[in-house]
Chains A and B, each alone.
Chain A
């Protein structure tokens, strides 16, 4: 195991966060605060409660997930796409470092950033609404699992993208709609039964449901299913990354 190399990549990526502090941390916090103002205070005041929890409080886990998902993908995809774009990837490829170590460095850094960000947003939310976390360890488990999974997913997008447009395409056209329709702002149980079935095809539903359960013990689907689906998605991403490095897809040649 080349720990020095993993450390070098990890610290390099983390340094990029500090360099781009406004973009990496401040802007997601600002936009999340806006969500609280709009949905929590303005609209939320007209909605009494969802499954026994006040609306402002109800949307907190969904909002945290929204940021963690999008930031994981954005960080990891940009982290690996940029060296490809400017050509500095030559050094990574020529270094005595395994694929696993490369992924560990990039995905580890991207996941760390989005976990920190998630916790910051959670703290920000605490300023607007009263929060309770029934199962803090499960909350952290879901947070870490989601951050890692979607950082891996972002890593895949970063390797696949051969232009900035493609880099933005999947997050904008696929992930954002899935997140909004995945129960960030409502309980899936509030939907008519037909829509509810369709919604259950959306993997984000399971992430948000499990995460929300760790806060308020209310869930759209069972916790075991949430955990199972999240882990399944993690495994799929791992297999794709393994295949990418095995074949050299869009990295070598």
Chain B
């Protein structure tokens, strides 16, 4: 796969001192779904704003489809559709007018058939003559997506696309995104919902305090950082973990009724067999056990914590 967006050593400074983005380099591959994760204020929206031309670059260079976003902004921006986080709409316009306006703004000749298709794909067709002010939040979000798709972009930015959208609609949105990817559109989404990234993304980038702290294939990331946890529900309460079990670094919880063991899934030896036999030798019996795979959310939280700790050091 070739890269469609290339960001080199990008920095953004607000005012004289606040550095919102610090020396970011990142390549987005053609046709992928890239999820950008990060806590509030990490710089996700700033990064998107700069790529799309809404904010100026302080330092560095960005190309979109090989076109520099400053010197060749027309070619670069023509490729991009942006769905911002906030629901910025012209309240008194109709859905049809506002979506058609977006197409014109991006220099495309009128094409009612395309607008019709976009509105139908997003289940907005029956609302086409409604004023935007009369629509629900979820519908407004879809109008924003329709505006972004009106000019047939090759790249779609979705900034928190499912914030404040109910579960059903969120799943519908995911389907839209998947079908867009199938039609060859590259998608970059930022999200707070880790499950969204886990569900959708091909690759994941984590940004914190204006720095990209990780970019990885989702599967690799899960595998690399994925840990499993074994929970043993004991038959009887114990006061302390016997010393011979110390190497396993067990945790005792639930008032002495539960033992927790964390292990690495990628290791060849997980240590479970020996743990179970050592438990028996120590006379500890359990009534039940369960294992859990750590989610992307756990990975994310631990990454952000590590990066924060490095910052304060």
Interfacial residues, chain A to chain B (CB-CB below 8 A): 2-5, 7-9, 11-12, 15, 19, 86-88, 90-98, 248, 252-253
Question: Distance (Å) between the CB of B272 and the closest chain A CB?
Answer: 53
Q: How far is the CA of A2 from the CA of B55 in the complex (A)?
A: 21
Q: Which 8 A-B pairs have the closest CB atoms?
A: A8-B104, A87-B88, A96-B74, A96-B77, A94-B52, A2-B107, A95-B105, A96-B78
Find the A residue at minimum CB distance from B78.
A96
Q: Are B105 and A86 in contact (CB under 8 A)?
A: no
Given A2-B74, A86-B91, A87-B86, residue A93 in contact with residue B53 (CB < 8 A): yes
Given the contacts A2-B74, A91-B147, A96-B77, A8 and B101 also touching, CB distance less than 8 Å:
yes
- B89 pairs with A86, CB closer than 8 A: yes
Q: Which residues of A contact B103 (CB under 8 A)?
A: 8
Q: Does B171 contact A (CB under 8 A)?
A: no
- Given pairs A87-B88, A96-B76, 14 additional interface contacts (CB within 8 A): A4-B105, A4-B106, A5-B105, A7-B104, A15-B97, A90-B82, A91-B88, A91-B147, A93-B53, A94-B52, A94-B53, A95-B107, A96-B75, A98-B74
Give the A-B contact count at a CB cut-off of 8 A: 76
B54 touches A93 (CB 8 A): yes
Contact A86 B88 (CB under 8 A): yes
Q: Check B108–A4 contact: CB distance below 8 A.
A: yes
List residues 66-113 of chain B with CB under 8 A from any CB of chain A. Answer: 73-78, 80, 82, 84, 86, 88-92, 97, 101-109
Cα of A40 to Cα of B295 in the assembled complex, Å: 80
A and B contact pairs by CB, cutoff 8 A, 25 listed: A2-B74, A3-B107, A4-B104, A4-B106, A5-B104, A5-B105, A5-B107, A8-B105, A11-B104, A12-B101, A86-B90, A88-B89, A90-B52, A91-B82, A91-B102, A91-B147, A93-B53, A93-B54, A95-B105, A96-B73, A96-B77, A96-B107, A97-B105, A252-B54, A253-B56
Q: Quote the shortest CB–CB distance from A73 to chain B (angstroms).
A: 22
**Could you tell me which B residues sit within 8 Å of A by CB distance?**
14, 52-56, 73-78, 80, 82, 84, 86, 88-92, 97, 101-109, 147
* Given known A2-B107, A19-B92, A96-B74, contact A90–B54 (CB-CB < 8 A): yes
CB distance from B98 to the nearest CB of A (A): 9
What is the CB-to-nearest-CB distance from A41 to chain B, in angstroms, rounded to a whole number? 39
Secondary structure dominating the interface of A? helix
Contacts A5-B104, A86-B90, A95-B105: A253 and B77 contacting too (C-beta < 8 A)? Answer: no
Which of B90, B105, B107, B108 is most buried by chain A, counting CB atoms within 10 A of its CB?
B105
Contact in complex: A88, B105 (CB < 8 Å): no
A252 CA to B54 CA, complexed, in Å: 6
Closest to B88 in A: A87
Closest to A93 in B: B54
- Closest Cβ of chain B: how far from A230's Cβ, in Å? 32
A186 CA / B182 CA spacing, docked (Å): 71
Residue of B with least CB distance to A16: B92
Q: Closest approach, in angstroms, between the C-beta of A246 and any C-beta of chain B?
A: 11
Indicate if the CB atoms of A95 and B106 lie closer than 8 Å: yes
Nearest Cβ distance between residue B97 and chain A, in whole angstroms? Answer: 7
Q: In the complex the two chains form, what is the Cα distance from A96 to B147 in whole Å?
A: 15
**In the assembled complex, how far is the CB of residue B151 from the closest CB belonging to chain A, in whole angstroms?**
9
Known: A19-B92, A252-B55, A253-B14. A94 touches B80 (CB 8 A): yes
Given contacts A88-B88, A252-B54, contact A97 B107 (CB under 8 A): yes
B104 proximity list for chain A (CB < 8 A): 4-5, 7-8, 11
A95 proximity list for chain B (CB < 8 A): 77, 105-107
Give the CA-CA distance A86 to B133 in the complex, in Å: 13
With both beta carbons as reference points, the residue of chain B lying nearest to A5 in the complex is identified as B105
Q: How far is the CB of B104 from chain A (nearest CB, A)?
A: 3
> Which residues of A are found within 8 Å of B73, using beta-carbon distances?
96
B residues in contact with A91, CB < 8 Å: 82, 88, 102, 105, 147
C-alpha spacing A98/B53, complex, angstroms = 11
- Greatest chain B CB density within 10 A among A7, A15, A253 is at A253
Instruction: Determine the distance from Cα of A11 to Cα of B101 in the docked complex, in whole angstroms.
Output: 9
Q: Bound state CA distance, A29 and B88, in angstroms?
A: 34
Q: Which residues of B contact A94 (CB under 8 A)?
A: 52-54, 77, 80, 82
B147 to chain A, nearest CB (A): 7
- Residue of A4, A19, A98, A252 near B56 (CB, 8 A) is A252
Q: How far is the CB of A248 from chain B (nearest CB, A)?
A: 5
A4 to B101, CA, bound (A): 10
Task: Give CA–CA (A12, B96) in the complex, Å.
Answer: 12
